[in-house]
Structure 1
């Protein structure tokens, strides 16, 4: 089934910001691993678009009927409000980076994954210890914050980087 691509008009049935062909070109350019088949690539793009819908973006949806989070209105970026049909290229690149990250999470064995840093000591040489990830958890860990998609999305999210909440 062919992906319905968002073109900035706020399509009510859009499923992705990028096509499988775009994803394949992205993978070649950046040396990422993706599935060879177009249906599998399209499925990855759909999964990435769903994950993106869970983020808190700047501005508001252009229309309540649109399927995806972008295009948006009232997006303030670099001290200017972007047009209502604004669909940044970095949203498309971010979706493709996220799709590649999701695929990497799918194919990486759990034993190779690293948990959060629980110990780090600097005395000449650096010692770093990671939390153990149980094989029986049945849960995939979300993409790490140092992945390329996080960088692509950072200017367009409501909150970026570290923030404090006063209790």
Structure 2
């Protein structure tokens, strides 16, 4: 069965954000090998990658455009960030004496940015009903 792609409309049957060809070209441009000759394995890999991204649905800003009517977490409405467009989101990590990256040289440079919380819904200000 062919892979159904999300086309920024919030499709109910979407299974992946990218096609196999787009994924392969992205990987090759960054020096990785991504074999797309086995279409069944490639599509399964893209479905798993999409499921991994969508597992963070509760942490993502905003809300899904078609709410429960769309299969994937994106596209989203009211998704915003306090990081200006074009700014680097993550500072480069300095390599330490070990093989893994470390941030001990400049601990204040590597703080995580927190995303602004969305506004409370209007019903949050209504009085609660007595039980």
**Equivalent residue, structure 2, for 1:72:** 76
Please state how far the C-alpha of 1:161 moved relative to its aligned partner.
Answer: 3.0
Tell me the equivalent position of 2:87: none
Partner of 2:45: 44
What TM-score does the superposition give when structure 1 sets the normalisation length?
A: 0.46
The structure-2 alpha-carbon separation of the partners of 1:161 and 1:20, relative to structure 1 and needing over 3 Å to count, comes to same
Hey, what does 1:20 align to over in structure 2?
A: 20
Work out whether residues 24 and 35 of structure 2, in 8 Å CA contact, stay in contact via their aligned partners in 1: no
Instruction: Determine if contact 1:23/1:41 at 8 Å carries over to the other structure.
Output: no
Higher strand share: 1
CA shift for structure 1 position 47: 0.4
Q: Deviations over 1:36-68 (max 9, x none)?
A: 422222111100100011112110011111000
Q: Answer whether contact 1:10 1:68 (CA < 8 A) is retained.
A: yes
Q: Which has the greater radius of gyration?
A: 2
Unaligned runs of 5+ in 1: 81-121, 131-159
1:16–1:49 Cα contact (<8 Å) kept:
yes
Secondary structure (helix, strand or coil) at the match of 1:13 reads: coil
Of Structure 1 and Structure 2, the greater helix share is in: 1
Count of aligned pairs: 89
Inter-partner Cα distance in structure 1 for 2:9 and 2:35: 30
Q: 1:76 aligns to what SS in structure 2?
A: coil
